[in-house]
Structure 1
Amino acid sequence: MRPDVITHLRCPVCRAPFVSADRALRCPQGHSFDIARQGYVDLTAGRPVHTGDTAQMVAARSALLAAGHFAALTEAVTATVARLSPGLVVEVGAGTAHYLVEIVRQIGDVGVAIDTSKAALRRAARADERIGAVRADIWQGIPIADHAAAVVLDVFAPRSGAEFARVLRPDGALVVATPAAGHLGELVDALGLIRVDPAKRERLSKSLDQWFVPVSDRRVRADLALSAADAHALVGMGPSAWHTDAATVRTVLETMPEPIAATLDVDLTVWRPR
């Protein structure tokens, strides 16, 4: 893990900076955290509330994103971040760091990918040398120094307004992508998947208004043409994977003519600290 990434990390026990890094991160108080041989470091310092995506879910997400089906969202997120102040980009719920990779390659700065899924972090750690992969639970605190980040990125991930505000610079920005009402509506109808909460925008504002002011809002929409395998991966990479039977989903999808149509429908918002 690169020194210019480690300098932004903090001990999850005492909040001190790390003073050494070979195969472990150590703080002056003697707290030590091994860097896994796959390249990520576990800074949970306790049991996470949620262990994150399974290896199967991570593989599904990686395959679908690699196929370019979410290219419109990737391009929109990257362009949005590129217009903001340069500096450290922290992505929470980063998964394999798909979006963060595109961002650091374009802006040239370093990033930190935060997730609770070890399977995802193994991939994130190999994605780009400028990215540090860190296991952490945002509900237990983000192990990043106060006001270190230029951007916090949250794509379909949980949100902690207080922690986002703490790690962001005063001139920093929070970029949030959330599913809009029509997101994957065709698959939702055909497979009985979890629907987007109609009050999602209101819940987003409620979760952030105490610490942030919205400054921009755009809708990202694209028509998707999926194979049955792609559609199955799309179901398997999201929250419906926890609530559906994979075999049943596969059987239904195999009866549908290809390409299977679906709609990418996402709200992309930018917020500034109050």
Structure 2
Amino acid sequence: MHLPEPVVRALRCSVCGEPLAEHGRALRCERGHSFDLAKQGYVNLLHAKIPAGTADTAEMVAARVEFLTAGHYRPLAEAVAAQVARLCPEPGLVVDAGAGTGYYLAQALPENSYGLALDVSAIALRRAAKAHPAIGAAVWNLWEPWPVADGAASVVLNVFAPRNASEFRRVLRPGGALVVVSPNPGHLAELGSAVLGIGEDKEQRLDSSLAAHFALDHREEISYRLRLEPAAVRQVVGMGPAAHHLHRDGRAERLAEITEPVDVTVSFTLSVFR
């Protein structure tokens, strides 16, 4: 497996910051730092361990693949794709910060553009690397300075993922845009304590966290109702951050007891910043 050449050009050595080039089954900088390309098609640029409970597990990734493949969040993916098409009329690089399995990046990538999927979970990036032929995937901790060149990206995506505002700004080209998707307070509220609660002031906190580097350009809400079968209920809980806490307060037991379909509210806010 190889990373798309435009993606390799955008990457930087995570040790010294020099450009990388592909040499056989590895990416290497001129100073000799080398990073093996996994057979699944991604590269791991990390050189430090990630704390337990941070990265998506194999079980979380499997649940996400099943749930997203069923199309439950397709309206959201279509809204993200529409915004990326508007923001990236010319071929460019779209960086998905916290890409997971690459579902949204693959749906949104404009024709003749390339995508870089960054995520701390190598298990998730095995999927992202194969989600679209123009995507390259790199394991990275988003809270650290990214191994990406200044001004390399036309658009940065951030869908339910950590937000590193200074790195968003640094890797965007002049005139580039940031697309952020976050859940609303009523999202999956019918599932109660099985999911993590969303604060009522989440939009204010989002805007405040980005204010030093970005101005709001566009905001829209995507809300609709879904009827989820019991298996899908367990998938939507098991694919998100609540999966790290299912052992607490009898949550796993309550999920296992669900035997009938559940009607839920799906609600997101899509925000575009420049």
- Considering the TM-score relative to the shorter chain, is it more than 0.5? yes
* Cα distance in 1 for residues equivalent to 2:22 and 2:66: 36
Match for residue 216 of structure 1?
218
Contact 1:91 1:152 in 2 (8 A): yes
* Cα distance in 1 for residues equivalent to 2:112 and 2:191: 37
AA at the equivalent of 1:228: P
Runs of at least 4 residues of structure 1 off by over 4 A? none
Match for residue 74 of structure 2?
71
User: Once the two structures are superposed, what CA deviation does each residue of 1:2-26 show, in whole Å capped at 9, x if it has no partner?
Assistant: 2121111111111111133320000
For residues 1-274 of structure 1, what are the structure 2 equivalents within 5 Å? 1-48=3-50, 51-85=54-88, 86=90, 87-104=92-109, 106-188=110-192, 191-245=193-247, 247-254=252-259, 257-258=260-261, 260-272=262-274
AA at the equivalent of 1:182: G
SS at match of 1:218: strand
SS at match of 2:197: coil
- 42-51 vs 156-165, which moves further: 42-51
AA at the equivalent of 1:74: A
TM score, norm. by length of structure 1: 0.93
Aligned length: 266
Deviation, structure 1 residue 123: 0.9
Deviation, structure 1 residue 163: 0.5
* Cα distance in 2 for residues equivalent to 1:238 and 1:226: 16
* Cα distance in 1 for residues equivalent to 2:254 and 2:65: 19
* Cα distance in 1 for residues equivalent to 2:72 and 2:267: 12
AA at the equivalent of 1:83: R
Contact 1:49 1:137 in 2 (8 A): no
Q: Unaligned regions of 5+ residues in structure 1, if any?
A: none
TM score, norm. by length of structure 2: 0.93
AA at the equivalent of 1:46: A
AA at the equivalent of 2:63: A
AA at the equivalent of 1:27: C
Contact 1:34 1:42 in 2 (8 A): yes
User: Once the two structures are superposed, what CA deviation does each residue of 1:220-243 show, in whole Å capped at 9, x if it has no partner?
Assistant: 111111100001000001111112
Deviation, structure 1 residue 29: 0.9
SS at match of 1:11: coil
Contact 2:8 2:21 in 1 (8 A): no
Contact 2:194 2:255 in 1 (8 A): no
Deviation, structure 1 residue 49: 5.0
Contact 1:72 1:221 in 2 (8 A): no
Deviation, structure 1 residue 192: 4.4
Deviation, structure 1 residue 143: 1.2
Distance 1:99 1:185, change over 3 A: same
* Cα distance in 1 for residues equivalent to 2:65 and 2:43: 21
Q: Unaligned regions of 5+ residues in structure 2, if any?
A: none
Contact 1:48 1:136 in 2 (8 A): no
* Cα distance in 2 for residues equivalent to 1:74 and 1:182: 19
* Cα distance in 2 for residues equivalent to 1:153 and 1:176: 6
Contact 2:224 2:265 in 1 (8 A): yes
Contact 2:220 2:270 in 1 (8 A): yes
